[in-house]
Structure 1
Amino acid sequence: MRVGYVQTSPVLGDVTRNVDLALSLASGEEADLLVFPELFNTGYLLLNKEDLAKVAEPIPEGPTTKRLMRFAADHSVSVIAGIAEMDGSKFYNSAVVINSDGDYLGTYRKLHLFSTEKLVFEPGNLGLQVFDLGKMRVGVMICFDWIFPEAARVLSLKGAHLIAHSANLVLPYAQTAMLARSIENRVFTITANRIGSEEKDGRRLRFTGMSQITSPSMKVLKRASEDSVEVGVVDIDPKEAEDKNITELNNLWEDRRPAEYSLLVRERLR
């Protein structure tokens, strides 16, 4: 399968321009799956619900999801893209999943909100999901989910060959950490990040770029630059992620000791 990331540079609040740019970039590549960044259509620094309400959309009825569905069907490519979702009076930092026929498969809502996201978005309530794209199964995470290894582990236990990681990364750690997520779960990962900076109400963020694709053997198969919009694609064999053997005598799943991990699922540590 041919899979890839679309690394963009959105302008805060300019949805039409941002979607136009991303789809123009994506249309130049042949792929089976393309992953777009977190909040790729709106930009990131949505610091109050009034601003968020102007750009958030219902899923799948909203215009951005509809455009992605048409794009997927026209180019025979599955798409996973992060957008700001409006559901009644609530807002979610979400990712839509669309197959290569242009069918909407579902939505993932970000579980682990970062910094000021907590002021405007609700925590995700749809769980960690794996979607069947026909040739492979794909789990979805968004940005700060990376720092919680339990998220990637659950997706892997649910049968994901690949973890699609839509992101707006500002910390310098995730690209390296996603290599660990690959080897500790023996899965492929795609981190689709953005570039550029945003400034609003005295707050300024610079995004790190370096979107990447990693393999179950902890290799960086493709990595973007820090400062240019670009698309990166590689060919992968999903069956590589089905091999959970570490040595002749060690298997990633068979050697687990779940009875010893009960602390991981406690809601309170004290």
Structure 2
Amino acid sequence: MASILKVAVIQLHAEPMQMEKNFSQSESYIRSAAAQNAELAVLPEYHLTGWVPDDPAYFKLADEWETYLKKYQDLARELKICIVPGTMISRVQNDDGSDVLLNIAYFIGKSGEVLGSYRKKNLWHPERDHLVPGTQDHEAFDTPWGKVGLLICWDLAFPEAFRDLVTQGAKLIIIPTFWGLHDCSEQGAAYNPNAEALFIESTLVARAFENTCSIIFVNAGAPAGDSMIGLSQVTVPFIGPLAKFGSSLPGMILVDLDMNIAEHAEQHYKVRSDLARVDWHYGPNRRPTLP
């Protein structure tokens, strides 16, 4: 099993409602990443459509998700690169015949197959008027670098989501995100205008340590002066961010992620070993698969 994973972290600025333009921009980054020997490219949440759910045309765009998923599958197959194409909004019909929106992340293997998917469970409060949360259990899946799990944006706030994946053997957790300073309340911003950036940076490091796992966090980008935070990064135990964007400006960074770091952290902290104990204090429903 490969120990070094070369990751392309793509902090994309999506033009609202411009799916083809946003896909073309994504494709250009992914082709550049593949030419530099990247093995995995990760894009942000809502990277094709932006987040404009009150626009009546948004539902129509949500019907195009299969078309663009196939485009990414074809691109992965052509370039022999794994792709997490952020998230895709899809429209489905509810039991009562009404239309609802789902927010789903996919992990596409280098042969074009979908190795895993995840529908966002923990919706940010304004999303709840528009999206239907996932109801399935979190699920880790196999990749050339071991077990991987997918989360989306506000899932970062819930340690239970990480533990659910870790107890299934996930060593790497990938989080496409759409997170801005505007997500803070007026009261919170009065205490600290950069509160949301502090939330992201401190929580990512804590999750990496407390779960002895690596994290790929890819936020949306934006022009200077926009309220998007950016701060896309690859974070690991012992070190914190291996590399990260210092702003919200769009772009791409390539990161060599040593998967052994998480293993060495586990050997030291023994978090997974404790979770596997029959007499573990908190009685998780699942036990991890240990080497």
Structure 1 and Structure 2 fold alike (TM over 0.5)? yes
Normalising by structure 1, what TM-score?
0.85
SS in 2 for 1:206: coil
Could you say if the C-alpha distance between residues 135 and 245 of structure 1 is closer, same or farther in structure 2, counting changes exceeding 3 Å? closer
How many Å separate the matches in 2 of 1:245 and 1:227? 32
Cα deviation, residue 227, structure 1: 3.2
How many Å separate the matches in 2 of 1:32 and 1:243? 23
Cα deviation, residue 147, structure 1: 0.5
SS in 1 for 2:48: coil
| Alignment partner of 1:54 out of 60, 69, 73 | 60
Could you say if the C-alpha distance between residues 28 and 84 of structure 1 is closer, same or farther in structure 2, counting changes exceeding 3 Å? same
Normalising by structure 2, what TM-score?
0.79
Could you say if the C-alpha distance between residues 263 and 135 of structure 1 is closer, same or farther in structure 2, counting changes exceeding 3 Å? closer
Could you say if the C-alpha distance between residues 191 and 245 of structure 1 is closer, same or farther in structure 2, counting changes exceeding 3 Å? closer
| Alignment partner of 1:228 out of 227, 249, 254 | 249
Cα deviation, residue 35, structure 1: 1.3
For residues 132-187 of structure 1, the C-alpha deviation after alignment (integer angstroms, 9 at most, x for no partner) is: 12232211000000001111121111111211000001132113211111111111
How many Å separate the matches in 1 of 2:73 and 2:50? 20
SS in 1 for 2:16: coil
Consecutive unaligned residues of structure 2, counting only runs of 5 or more, are 94-98, 181-195, 286-291
Could you say if the C-alpha distance between residues 218 and 92 of structure 1 is closer, same or farther in structure 2, counting changes exceeding 3 Å? farther
2:210 aligned partner:
184
More helix by share: 2
How many Å separate the matches in 2 of 1:85 and 1:218? 37
**CA-based RMSD:** 2.3
Q: Please list, as runs of the form range in 1=range in 2, the aligned pairs for 1:1-270 lying within 5 A after superposition.
A: 1-29=5-33, 30-47=37-54, 50-57=56-63, 62-81=66-85, 82-88=87-93, 89-170=99-180, 171-172=196-197, 173-196=199-222, 206-243=227-264, 245=266, 247=268, 251-256=270-275, 260-261=281-282
SS in 1 for 2:21: helix
How many Å separate the matches in 2 of 1:218 and 1:119? 39
Contact 1:128 1:155 in 2 (8 A): yes
Cα deviation, residue 58, structure 1: 6.5
Q: Matched residues, percent identical?
A: 26
